Amino acid sequence: MNVRDSEHMIAELKNKKDYEQTNNIEEADLIMVNTCSVRDKPVQKLFSEIGHFNKIKKKDAKIGVCGCSATHLGKDIIKRAPFVDFVLGARNISKISNIIDRKGAVEIDIDHDDSSYMFDDYRSNPYKAFINIMIGCDKSCAYCIVPFTRGDEISIPLDIIINEAKKVVREGVKEICLLGQNVNNYGKKLDKHINFTYLLQKLSEIDGLKRIRFTSPHPLHMDDEFIEEFAKNPIICSSIHMPLQSGSTSLLKSMRRGYSKKWFLDKAFKIRDLAKDVSITTDVIVGFPGESDEDFADTLDVIDKIRFEQIFNFKYSKRPLTPAIDYDNQIDDKISSQRLTRVIEKHKTYNFDILKDKIGSDYETLFDAIKPDGYISGKSDNNFTVITKGDASLLGEIKTVHIKDRRKNSLIGNMLF
């Protein structure tokens, strides 16, 4: 989502303010840091980064702080780092071309509605396009700062999304990735017949669009209609992110996730049953307040049962404004670290077999990167990295690759057609 927000801001600055992008900070007239605030560490990094940029920047170059940390720290950023020229919250990025000329401006209103703003266009990848389908989040997971930085959930009108998808396909994009905090809750406040499944159906009718991905869906909104469409629609990639957070029903309750261990397992098994060769990835938080050995064992049990293709592991991080910061049964950091290691180790025990099982498969692959020594790489429909012999003329093409071998985190094969 931050990548897409950055693209939006770059587009606005290029087209409305005549800025060009540079990777050389010393020659920049404007330095922007787009921040995350989901965990504490990136927030701490922010101040050391901007301090460094301030030392090496050109005289009179401006520094702006954007994104979620901008929202939640607001004017305190300028108090702590007075050389910062402006602060622009995650929900206010449409104001970018205006704020850069207002020294000391702080725009962090979380009620601001960017949902139908027509951003100018810039995309960093010519074959794959991110498309926002909603902004904000209406959930109140006890550990999460996002609703306080991105505001209430608003679905972007259907026609804006469809038109954007048609436009990028005309420009050569093969794959779109729909973005939102709870994509499968799309349409909640729109007309009754508009929901996420309907949006997927409409998008897959677009001529020339080869692939649709989306992130993140919420397990709570994975109804049968959605799972069936996901499994049978050939344009929808066979890869889904199912953020588990914890396998313990009681911990899920104190996290306010709205589902139980059984609910999650039922949904994941149904997806594995219906969607051929699907990849299921997940997010896991360890060390959430009150997590007992039994709770953690439930998380490991779900991992054993679902054998996620990829796991994004996080140690619980105390976030301001969230209810869990005041829970009195916080977990010792040493225990959280041990649990984190156990989740990583557990995934390693079967990751090798997951990749080995793919040997002999034929995967349609969208190539988008050049590798050394005459190789190229891309992603299969089920989101594995596939490497084969080839050159730049294949970038943006979808070809079938017969998998012959695997590396640590990728598959190697021969191109068929």
Radius of gyration of the chain (CA): 22
Pick one of 63, 88, 129, 144: the residue that binds ligand SF4 (CB under 6 A).
Answer: 144
Hey, is 315 helix, strand or coil?
strand
Report d(CA 242, CA 271) in Å as an integer: 10
Out of 62, 72, 95, 218, which residue is the one contacting ligand SAH (CB under 6 A)?
218
Nearest CA to 65 out of 33, 93, 42 is that of 33
Taking the C-alpha atoms of residue 97 and residue 327, their distance in angstroms, rounded to an integer, is 42
Query: What is the distance between the alpha carbons of residues 402 and 365, in angstroms, rounded to a whole number?
Result: 10
Considering the rule CB under 6 A, would residue 137 count as an interface residue with ligand SF4? yes
Interface characters, 255-294, with ligand SAH (x: CB under 6 A)? ----------------------------x-x---------
Binding residue for ligand SF4, selected from 182, 248, 282, 377, defined by CB under 6 A? 182
The CA distance from 102 to 132, in Å, is 28
In this structure, how many other beta carbons lie within 10 angstroms of the beta carbon of residue 371? 13
Which does residue 305 bind out of ligand SAH, ligand SF4, none, counting CB within 5 to 8 angstroms by kind?
none
| β 86-89/105-107 pair status | parallel
- Determine, following the binding rule CB under 6 A, whether residue 181 of this chain makes contact with ligand SAH: yes
Residues 225-244 interacting with ligand SAH (rule: CB under 6 A): 243
Window contacting ligand SF4 (CB under 6 A); options: 67-75, 139-147, 353-361, 376-384: 139-147
Q: Is 146 in the site for ligand SF4 (CB under 6 A)?
A: yes
Q: In whole angstroms, what is the distance from residue 316 CA to residue 336 CA?
A: 8
Residue 278, CA atoms < 13 Å, CB-side half-sphere:
27
Dist CA 125 CA 334 (whole Å): 41
Under rule CB under 6 A, how many of the chain's residues touch ligand SF4? 9
Residue 317 contact, options ligand SAH, ligand SF4, none, Cβ 5-8 Å cut-off depending on partner type: ligand SAH
Q: Min. distance of Cβ 208 from ligand SF4 in angstroms?
A: 32
d(CA 337, CA 334): 5
Work out what residue 147 binds among ligand SF4, ligand SAH, none; the CB cut-off runs from 5 to 8 Å by kind.
ligand SF4
Under 8 Å between Cβ of 14 and 120: yes
User: Which of 256, 254, 188, 176 is CA-nearest to residue 221?
Assistant: 188
Could you say which of 39, 253, 342, 389 contacts ligand SAH (CB under 6 A)?
A: 39
Question: What is d(CA 315, CA 296) in angstroms, rounded to the nearest whole number?
Answer: 13
**Residue entry with tokens 């796991």:** 311
Q: Can you tell me which of 86, 130, 143, 214 binds ligand SAH, judged by CB under 6 A?
A: 143
Q: Which is nearer to ligand SAH, 99 or 144 (CB)?
A: 144
Residue 391 Cβ, how far from ligand SAH at the closest point, in Å?
A: 37
120, 33 Cβ separation under 8 angstroms: no
For the CB of residue 25, give the shortest distance to ligand SF4 in the complex, in Å. Answer: 31
**What single-letter amino acid sits at 37?**
S
67 binds ligand SAH (CB under 6 A): no
> In terms of CB distance, is 70 or 183 closer to ligand SF4?
183
CB of 153 to ligand SF4, least distance (A): 8
The SS3 call for residue 218 is coil
Binding segment (CB under 6 A) for ligand SAH, from list 246-254, 312-320, 348-356, 407-415: 312-320
Please report, as ranges, the residues that interact with ligand SAH according to CB under 6 A.
38-39, 143-144, 146, 181-182, 216, 218, 243, 245, 283, 285, 314, 316-317, 319
Query: Which residues lie near ligand SF4 (CB under 6 A)?
Result: 137, 139, 141, 144, 146-147, 181-182, 218
